Amino acid sequence: MSPKSLAFSIARRYFAQRKRFHAVQVVSAISSVAVGVVVMAVVAILSIYNGYEEVLLTSVSHLDAPLKVERADKAPFDAQESRIARLRNLPEIAASSRLIEGEGIVRSSSVYAAAHLLGLEPAYSRSLALDSLMLEGSLSALPCEYTLGGDLYQTLFSFGQTSSFMRTVSLYVPKRRGYINPLLPQTAFRTTQGKAPSVLSAKEEKYDRTLFLSVEELGSLLDLPKGYVHALALFPVEGVSPKTLKESLQKELGTEWRVLDRRDQQPHLLKLVAIEKWMTFFILFFVLLLAAFNVICSSSMLIIEKRHDVEIYAALGARPQLIRSIFLWQGLLVTLVGALGGFLLGMLLVWLQAQFGWLTFGEGVYRQPYPVAVRWLDLLALAATITLVGYLSAFYPVRRLLRSPQPH
């Protein structure tokens, strides 16, 4: 038997001995249970955060295209460029739309409001099921015909006319080029005017503060070169995986371009959820450190109790490294056995929640189960953390109490 196998075998006997149940075994059992409870909580809480992320993405990405192609530096580009034009004719693409984005001022008869401007093509609105989001009319991409986001509509027309056929707005966008007369401030803007018969409520701040118009009109308003756009929206054929298509397009286009799926188009939301998630993880990490002190205590008590065994091993010719390995393994077993039990219980709780939805939030008709989702990268990070904490909590008492055992 190799020294490593021998050390593990003896450590396992120390950990699982049943003939005598002394204080050392009690403390070891408490240590394992404490580690297990923390690990179970971490697995469950990380899964809930993952579930929330999926729910939030689903609720805010109604107006995001499945795939969006843009330059890495976000500069405008010619949509007629051969590589980009070819994307629109791929057999995996059911529809596509050129996109132009900008910022401007929208004015009704007496109210001004800052707005995000989004120029698109009719194919964009046809490819998304937006009927449930429309408060009035339909998402339009016709010249001089605009769609207002819900918040923008409330700002512009809360005290004025609300009849759709009478609703007109003017757009003001800062000039990018040309002469500006300081005595005539209005010359600093390019303007256009049109009707706004449609209103959309996306329940998302970005789109509820947006004015939608045709891509050609916004391109002219922003004084972009003809045919230039900021992005290309792609709608894959039914049955084609956006993730797989994204990877192949990114590989084909190279690093100068970015292919974004719906997750990539919500970076601020993902960062917010990730910050909350990992802050919670670190809080529970400190709780795990507190549980690790129990492991240090149990390992120290075992070493003191087994002093006579240590002397026997040394007298039989065991090297100090072998003796240290025995107690190092024993301390690791206390942590890892508890962690394994906590992991299995945590996964069981997540599965039960996913199947039956026992834990809910909200009241009445708004009551819904907590969403859960397991990600293997989270579990790998948790496993690495547990292994590190377990090793350090076992190594410290071994190093302190077994410096150089010698036979008497």
Whether the per-residue pLDDT at 65 is higher than 70: the answer is yes
What's the confidence (pLDDT) of residue 353?
A: 92
Cα distance between residue 102 and residue 218, in whole Å: 8
Cα distance between residue 138 and residue 281, in whole Å: 44
Tell me how long the chain is.
Answer: 408
What's the confidence (pLDDT) of residue 18?
A: 53
Cα distance between residue 137 and residue 215, in whole Å: 19
* pLDDT-derived band at 36, boundaries 50, 70, 90: very high
Strand stretches in 230-306, DSSP E: 231-236, 257-261
* pLDDT-derived band at 379, boundaries 50, 70, 90: very high
Residue 137 and residue 190 in contact, taking contact as beta carbons nearer than 8 Å: no
Residue 137 in tokens: 């009319």
Residue 351 and residue 300 in contact, taking contact as beta carbons nearer than 8 Å: no
Residue 11 and residue 330 in contact, taking contact as beta carbons nearer than 8 Å: yes
pTM of the model: 0.74
How do residues 137-155 score in pLDDT, each as one tens digit?
888 778 888 999 989 998 9
Residue 295 and residue 390 in contact, taking contact as beta carbons nearer than 8 Å: yes
How do residues 84-141 score in pLDDT, each as one tens digit?
888 888 999 999 999 999 999 999 888 899 999 999 998 888 888 787 788 888 887 7
Cα distance between residue 102 and residue 213, in whole Å: 11
99 φ, ψ (degrees, to nearest 5): -130, 140
Whether the per-residue pLDDT at 216 is higher than 90: the answer is yes
